[in-house]
Chains A and B, each alone.
Chain A
Amino acid sequence: MKTTYREAVREAIREAMHRDERVFLMGEDVGHYGGCYAVSKGLLDEFGPERIRDTPLAESGFTGAGIGAALGGMRPIVEIMTVNFSFLALDQIVNNAATLLHMSGGAFNVPVVIRMATGGGRQVAAQHSRSLEGWYAHIPGLRIVTPATVEDARGMLWTALEDPDPVLIFEHVMLYNMEGELAEDAGPVPLEGAAVRRAGTDVSLITYGGSLWKVLEAADELASHGISAEVLDLRSLRPLDDEAILATVARTHRAVVVDEGWRTGGISAEITARIMEGAFYELDAPVVRVCGVEVPMPYPAHLERAALPQVADIVAAARGLVEGQGEGADAGPARGSAGGSRGDAP
């Protein structure tokens, strides 16, 4: 069955609402407007305003209310329009959702699901193009998932709603229109565990979310250069699937980490560090990162394109690792791979 990512998420919500009467959706413009990205279009008519609940523009207020409702026995899905607005709700997510179970010595868990759009690529400039899921992955107590396929988009929401703890789902804005094949009997997808999306022997391309498709395209191109790339889709940024990361590095001995987020202090840094800690002696070359250039996202298309990892960057990084050919490792085979890359410092 062909479906778009958007429809897959909508189906997941619809299905959950039919399955469990404790589930409800709330957020800005989820009801009458049909969802900023049209994910919840039509659901208001089907479920009514109690369960498809429009909220005022009050991210902290309604996210906190979602956390409170979860404490009170409901299974809320809080939609924060985009990650950019979630900063207004950081207090509730970080100080409450992530801590209550621990602070209460296990007395109160918070089964809330918070969905938000993330990522750039739509020419909506600096305040609407961020990829800060890596920030949230820093916080113990949260689970961070980044479904990249229609199957995951549908199946992870299911699992997230069954999880006793707060789960943040990051949906890349460029994926909503993507079509994919979804099995009729597609079921829940675990929140943990990376997936090898393509097997290979020469280099591991490690990524997640919206970058997965660029990485797969890059792997195709690498094949035409005689380089066999393995593509690992992390799917969850917290917890990270260490085993899968170390296993792919042990197979190929080379890794390129691709992340739309910034390099400095980003999730790519964490992945790289774990490779260093757990697979140092498997490495046949330094780990290379292809990340977003460290600038607030510019508006013009050519600059935005230049600021985001592109297929050519990934290919160049991987070729630099595998073919070597005198590329100075100091300069880094690819943009953003090592010290002194653009935008790093004044």
Chain B
Amino acid sequence: MTLPDAAHARALLRSMLLIRRFEERCAELYTQRKIHGFLHLYIGEEAVAAGSIAVLEPRDSVVATYREHGQALARGVPTDTVMAEMYGKQEGCARGRGGSMHVFDAETRFYGGNAIVAGGLPLAVGLALASRMQGEDRVTACFFGDGAVAEGEFHEAMNLAALWELPVLFCCENNLYAMGTALQIAQARTDLAARAAAYGMPAWTVDGMDVVAVEAATRRAVDAIRSGAGPHFLEFRTYRFRPHSMFDPELYRSREEVAEWKKRDPILLLERRMREAGMLDDAGMEALEREVAEEVEASVAFAEAGSWEPVEELTRFVYSERPGDPGEGEG
């Protein structure tokens, strides 16, 4: 896979680096009890979000999972509001109502962080159905993990999308483990692309550690979807370097396996190739790191300076607010 031009390569590298440094900071903040609840980190899988979402247009839609900080940042949801959301501050992109697992952003058509495995797939089908019925040229990109493939909703969604030839891009992030259950323990057939192919939709397996490959495959798929070829399925083979969530002693995989995958760190891979191609030097990398660090630190400052939503507003947004509403939910 040939590298794109220097500026674009740098943008991809920056996108991945931002996710990495953002999440490292989140892990730290979690241990300091600034961030609570569940925290699922994407570290190791950055190439998937950075490479695939780079292809999407602003008019497209994204549906993601509870491991969605990467998609949100790659999609351009402001780093500040994502971090504030992690804190639960009302300046967060979902007013702090969702937290780490439920990042939403209307501006970028980011339809959430869904914390039910496979729960987002039918939504993506519906979003695509709506754009089709409205005659709008939108692609809905739907991210989910290998675990989702075992769910009934996955198959229902595959069938509906293929049956109705809807403009959905199914992005399966196969990181080999559904939480702590390895693919081969959970799936009768571990070749996940073949599952989708059974529904008659084009389905390819892609090296999810190579952001350039991810981008190229996504471009091909998205172009085809826009031309009316119906849904496409991409299985990104990837790996999460960190535990499933913060509280996970990783009893289910070996340190050697993790170390082996880290040799294919998507950031290192791209960095190395860019250096080889003369697109990047130490100074350039340092500048990039500094830029990203500043952005992350600014987001932490933004979140720290944020405010807590008053308890009086607890029941807001249970139902839509209508003019003259006191902002109460049904009591």
Contacts and interface: CB of A to CB of B under 8 A. Distances in A.
Interface stretch (A65-73, A198-206, A308-316, A331-339): A65-73
A154 interface: no
A96 B119 contact: yes
B130 A73 contact: yes
A40 interface: no
Interface string A23-51: 01000000000000000000000000010
A68 B94 contact: no
A56 B116 contact: no
B134 interface: yes
A321 B76 CA distance: 65
Interface in B196-223: none
For B119, B122, B124, B127, the residue with the greatest tally of chain A CB atoms inside 10 Å of its CB is B122
A24 B133 contact: yes
Interface in B109-128: 111-112, 114, 116, 119, 121-128
Given A103-B104, A105-B92, A140-B330, A61 B320 contact: no
Given A104-B102, A105-B95, A108-B106, A91 B129 contact: no
B106 A107 contact: yes
B130 A55 contact: no
B245 interface: no
A61 B199 CA distance: 15
Nearest to A100: B112
B195 interface: no
A238 B153 CA distance: 28
Contacts of B122: 60-65, 67-68, 92
Contact of A104 (B98, B123, B321): B98
Given A72-B131, A101-B317, A106 B95 contact: yes
Given A71-B123, A74-B130, A101-B317, A61 B61 contact: no
Interface in B282-331: 316-322, 329-330
Nearest to A74: B130
A104 B330 contact: no
Interface residues of B, number: 47
Contact of B126 (A65, A101, A104, A143): A65
B97 to A, nearest CB: 5
Contacts of B128: 68, 72
B125 A164 contact: no
Contacts of B322: 164
Contact of B330 (A64, A74, A164, A239): A239
A101 B320 contact: yes
A64 B157 CA distance: 9
Interface string A136-168: 000011010000000000000000000011000
B319 A101 contact: yes
B228 interface: no
A95 interface: yes
A68 B131 CA distance: 10
A58 interface: yes
15 contacts: A56-B159, A65-B160, A67-B126, A68-B122, A72-B129, A101-B318, A102-B97, A102-B318, A103-B112, A104-B112, A105-B94, A107-B94, A107-B104, A107-B105, A108-B104
Interface string B76-97: 0000000000000010111111
B107 to A, nearest CB: 9
Nearest to B98: A103
Contact of A68 (B130, B163, B317, B321): B130
Contacts of A107: 93-94, 104-106
A207 interface: no
B126 A141 contact: no
